[in-house]
Structure 1
Amino acid sequence: MTAYVQTLWDIAFVKDKQLKTPPRPSVADFLAESIFSGRYQPGDFVPKEIDLCEQFGINRSAVRSDLRQLVDVGIIERISGHGSKVREYAEWNILDPTVTDWMTRYAAPNPKVQWEILSFRLDVEPYVAMTAAKRATARDLVAIEEAFEGMARHLYHAPSLEERRLHSDYDVAFHAAIFKATHNIVWAQLSHILRPSIYLLISMSNVSTSDPEASLERHRQVMESIRARRPREAFLAAQAVLEGTAQALGIEPGESTLGRDPGLV
């Protein structure tokens, strides 16, 4: 091998090593996990910049850049001379894609976050099901039925982890299809935004439920009510599904502001 060829090999080797250099640790991900899991509660101060620099072995500029990610989505606020404090849940941009991604990965152990998501769904989804019962087309009904059949094929007590994952995937698809069946562009888009948070509750409740067959039957009642164009029954069936989710998670959903029997409104 000539000296020239050797030099080319050396340059390629160095470039290859540079390309494979692992990314620096993410302070934003570390703090998001700590906050969403409940280690830091609203009102708590997260570690100071200098402590994060030392812990992660990165410079102050990098730490500030990562903290800015959390500030921009409303999770923490910077207080001059004191540090960074976790804001109240109501201040979080919960539908921001970055926040929903963190939520899916890190929020499982936090009952307060679960309660907030469940309360929102209990207020919204019965009305979505009721609207779908009025507007669903034949194509919408096929999508809902296919998702339901997928849930049934991969019922959550199956021994295979892959089957359990598929059951949750089809469960999310079932709810997304109902949102789409409203034929309202806002509801349809909202189902995509909410998908990570819906998946969070579904995957956890499917793990903890003591009666997956009963849960499947509640979903079937929603599907049949929409198919039969019975809005009130669809509303109540969707409520029953979410109440089952609350029971499986051990969460008290509280009194829903919007999600009341439409016959009593």
Structure 2
Amino acid sequence: MKEKQQKPNQRPSVAEFLAEEIFSGRYQPGDYVPKEVALCDQFAINRSAVRSDLRQLVDVGIIERISGHGSRVREYSEWNILDPTVTGWMTRYAAPNPKVQREILSFRLDVEPYVAMMAAKRATARDLVAIEEAFEGMGQNMHGDAGPESNRLHSDYDVAFHVAIYKATHNIVWAQLSHILRPSIYLLIKMSNVSATDPEASLERHRQLMEAIRTRRPNEAFRSAQAVLAGTADALGLKPGESVLGSRLELTADGPL
């Protein structure tokens, strides 16, 4: 068991420990996590404390209690993936788990081309400045040889770039969703930026997306967003599958059919 830094007089968190084990892939959907008695012994805490922590995982749909058997990890589709606690766990612990990464990537591939298309139709001058400033920050901190701080800043600006596009839709749902999705977007961006073999090409794909939005070309924005995410998939070595929306759509002057 990995040691966790605890605040003074704070008991060990069973929920945090199990979240790390589940998100990292140690326990897969359908697997049973250790029983209450074993967790009591492992963490030297009483049964009511263990049950309280298990309840946190039950409430967000990650595990289910099976009478007489224990607690079982639920399918990914049952997880409340937009809950702030869950997205926090995802950011901290899901990096080694390609299945979770693939689920996030598939969602982004389904959604973000449409978000980019909407941004190309609705972005204001202020939105374009925010997108451009984020893009410039990416370029200034693109090369990892400047150290870990440069890597962190590059990823931060990359996230800001995509969040600014969500906000440029001027749709309150998409704008709010960008805040909720930020941790999961950051997870993929951080991993892909580390493993990218051609950061200049990635930056160019982002530039093309920015230009498509700036010049009010919705169809090009759609395709450019797909290209950016295809680069992310390639850097991560992931194949998102055949169910990606828009992958076979015919684009008209007004958008996808």
TM-score by length of 1: 0.91
Instruction: Identify the match of residue 250 of structure 1 among 227, 230, 237.
Output: 237
1:192 aligned partner, one-letter code: H
Q: Structure 1 stretches of 5 or more lacking a match?
A: 1-19
What do the CA deviations read for 1:202-249 (whole angstroms, capped 9, x no partner)? 000000000001000000000000001000000000000000000000
Instruction: Identify the match of residue 225 of structure 1 among 212, 227, 231.
Output: 212
CA deviation after TM superposition for structure 1 residue 65, in Å: 0.3
What does 1:64-143 align with in structure 2 at a 5 Å threshold?
Answer: 64-143=51-130
CA deviation after TM superposition for structure 1 residue 159, in Å: 2.7
CA deviation after TM superposition for structure 1 residue 29, in Å: 0.5
Cα distance in structure 2, aligned partners of 1:136 and 1:106: 35
What do the CA deviations read for 1:137-183 (whole angstroms, capped 9, x no partner)? 00000000000000000004333110110000000000000000000
Number of the residue aligned with 2:4 = none
Instruction: Identify the match of residue 199 of structure 1 among 174, 186, 189.
Output: 186
Q: Percent identity?
A: 80
Q: Report if aligned partners of 1:78, 1:84 keep a CA contact under 8 Å in 2.
A: yes
Cα RMSD for the two superposed structures:
1.1
What does 1:25-40 align with in structure 2 at a 5 Å threshold?
Answer: 25-40=12-27
Number of the residue aligned with 1:56 = 43
Cα distance in structure 1, aligned partners of 2:8 and 2:234: 47
Cα distance in structure 2, aligned partners of 1:249 and 1:159: 22
Q: Structure 2 stretches of 5 or more lacking a match?
A: 1-6
Instruction: Identify the match of residue 169 of structure 1 among 149, 152, 156.
Output: 156
Number of the residue aligned with 1:234 = 221
Number of the residue aligned with 1:12 = none
Q: Report if aligned partners of 1:95, 1:193 keep a CA contact under 8 Å in 2.
A: yes
Cα distance in structure 2, aligned partners of 1:262 and 1:66: 49
Aligned length: 246
Instruction: Identify the match of residue 138 of structure 2 among 147, 151, 173.
Output: 151
Cα distance in structure 2, aligned partners of 1:207 and 1:32: 24
Secondary structure at 1:158 match in 2: helix
CA deviation after TM superposition for structure 1 residue 258, in Å: 1.9
Q: Report if aligned partners of 2:122, 2:170 keep a CA contact under 8 Å in 1.
A: yes
Deviates more, 1:150-159 or 1:34-43: 150-159
1:178 aligned partner, one-letter code: I
Cα distance in structure 1, aligned partners of 2:123 and 2:244: 26
1:167 aligned partner, one-letter code: H
- Structure 1's 151 and 187: CA in aligned 2 closer, same or farther, altered over 3 A? same
Cα distance in structure 2, aligned partners of 1:248 and 1:120: 17
Q: Report if aligned partners of 2:197, 2:235 keep a CA contact under 8 Å in 1.
A: yes
